[in-house]
Structure 1
Amino acid sequence: MIDVREKQELRDRIKEVLRSVSSVENRRASILVTKNVLNSEAWKSCPVVLSFVSINGELDTSMLIQIGLDQGKIVGVPRTAGSYMTFHRIRKLAFPGETGLTGVREPTSAHPAVEPGQELKFPEIAHRPEYATRDTPLSLVVVPGLAFDRRGNRLGRGGGAYDRYLARYNDKVVTIGVCLERQIVDAVPVGKQDIGVSYIATENGLYTTREL
């Protein structure tokens, strides 16, 4: 049985570490992490990118989102209803939206939903025969986290939205967790409901969770 206190202690410890990261260091690391994600086979092969919108203290995902749009990818960002999360398509970085409960800008329900496994509903993808016949995921999910370990286990902020989302779609997506190298720990306490990631991108490189 997972010790809830153990998770909270790790959250508190990582939050303290992140408080020591300057805005300059965060910006530098964000650029390097972005480059490492862009160089990944997952990014190159997936026509759909689903990314979180960063808040203060997190690695900046705006560059990744903008590049995805510039490259003609279908880009989706999260919309939440309680702990239930969906991704909706945006066509520009400064998308029309509303502020969610966590203070993050979210798309409105008028933005088309982007659902893993249903990517062929978008003409840009359906018209490409290599996507229509592919049996590997078409969607890449860029996953936030306070901490990750070498097996790809992830510690979030405690809401469980990403765990619930990935429980629904984990076999239909490729996942890359993004964090600073110092957010990688020896072991993240996990339970049955916790879903890990396939890759981790830090300022030092991109790792599969078996090679980290």
Structure 2
Amino acid sequence: MSSSATTATTQAAKALLRKSLKRRLKLVPPAQVAQDLSYLDNAAAAITARVLAASWYLKADAVSCYLSTPVGEASTDSIILDALSKGKRVFIPYCPLEQPTVMRMLRLKSVHHFESLKLNRWGIRDLDPQEQSGGLDLILVPGLAFDRKKRRLGHGRGYYDRYITETGDYAARFKKESPYTAALALNAQIIEPDDPQQIPVTEWDRTPDVLVTPDEVIS
């Protein structure tokens, strides 16, 4: 099978897995949803504590952190606020509508700037494109699902895979250190080895340096 055919097959398998995971979430009873929302707060606090104590976070001066969705992801608000309070340069992803395959990193200037961000149609805080990043030390990566080999299933646009590849190529060209990458995941986002549906990968997929869950850091 050719490389292009293999890639197409893998992408189709990823699309099926995304649909399956989203369908699974829709079948959760309302009472369970309420319980899960309470769990989300505790899980996010546990993930945040692990990130804030990590050496790769403590030594990072420039941090990229995604703005979390209201459900299905651990909140990153506390990480962003901590980084700003420590004087770190904080950048968040921005995807221009006119460039559907491009992701840029734009700087948050202060806690007030963060708290004044308006919600977009997905309920995520949004930033006007004002200041792009220089070099990053740390990239915190979201995802729909992960496994214990740190393989990641994104939302299908390939933003982070391309961005991490580009920053790695830039670092190699100028003999600099590539940004450290840490993915954040709730326990419910982990696909265990005995799950019948596993995460398919291609040569373009990028694996984070570590995967942080409420219970552990997988390196």
TM-score normalised by L of structure 2: 0.76
Cα distance between partner residues in 2 of 1:176 and 1:18: 25
Cα distance between partner residues in 2 of 1:84 and 1:102: 19
**Does 1:179 find its partner at 2:185?**
yes
| Partner residue, 1:152 | 150
**Does 1:26 find its partner at 2:40?**
yes
Paired positions, count:
186
Displacement after TM superposition at 1:17 (Å): 4.9
Deviations 1:37-75 (A, max 9, x none): 112111012111100001121210001100111111111
Give the SS at the match of 2:206. coil
Displacement after TM superposition at 1:150 (Å): 2.4
Structure 2 unmatched runs, 5+: 1-5, 172-177
1:74 paired residue among 77, 89, 92: 89
> How many percent identity over aligned positions?
27
Displacement after TM superposition at 1:144 (Å): 0.3
Structure 1 unmatched runs, 5+: 117-137
| Partner residue, 2:12 | 5
Q: Structure 2 vs 1, CA of residues 63 and 18 (structure 1 numbering), >3 Å: closer, same or farther?
A: farther
Bigger Cα displacement from structure 2, 166-175 vs 15-24: 15-24
Give the SS at the match of 2:103. strand
Deviations 1:111-150 (A, max 9, x none): x21132xxxxxxxxxxxxxxxxxxxxx6111100011122
Alignment-mate amino acid for residue 146 of structure 2: F
Displacement after TM superposition at 1:175 (Å): 0.6
Alignment-mate amino acid for residue 82 of structure 2: I
Cα distance between partner residues in 1 of 2:18 and 2:112: 31
Bigger Cα displacement from structure 2, 167-176 vs 55-64: 167-176
**Does 1:200 find its partner at 2:211?**
yes
Cα distance between partner residues in 2 of 1:17 and 1:92: 38
The structure that is strand-richer by fraction is 1
1:64 paired residue among 79, 82, 85: 79
Cα distance between partner residues in 1 of 2:124 and 2:101: 14
1:108 paired residue among 112, 123, 128: 128
Displacement after TM superposition at 1:190 (Å): 1.0
Structure label with greater radius of gyration = 2
Cα distance between partner residues in 2 of 1:101 and 1:193: 30
Alignment-mate amino acid for residue 40 of structure 2: N
| Partner residue, 2:174 | none
Alignment-mate amino acid for residue 182 of structure 2: I
Displacement after TM superposition at 1:169 (Å): 1.1
RMSD of aligned residue pairs (Cα, Å): 2.2
CA contact 2:101–2:159 (8 Å) conserved in 1: yes
Cα distance between partner residues in 1 of 2:80 and 2:46: 15
Give the SS at the match of 1:84. coil
Alignment-mate amino acid for residue 49 of structure 1: V
Cα distance between partner residues in 1 of 2:112 and 2:16: 36
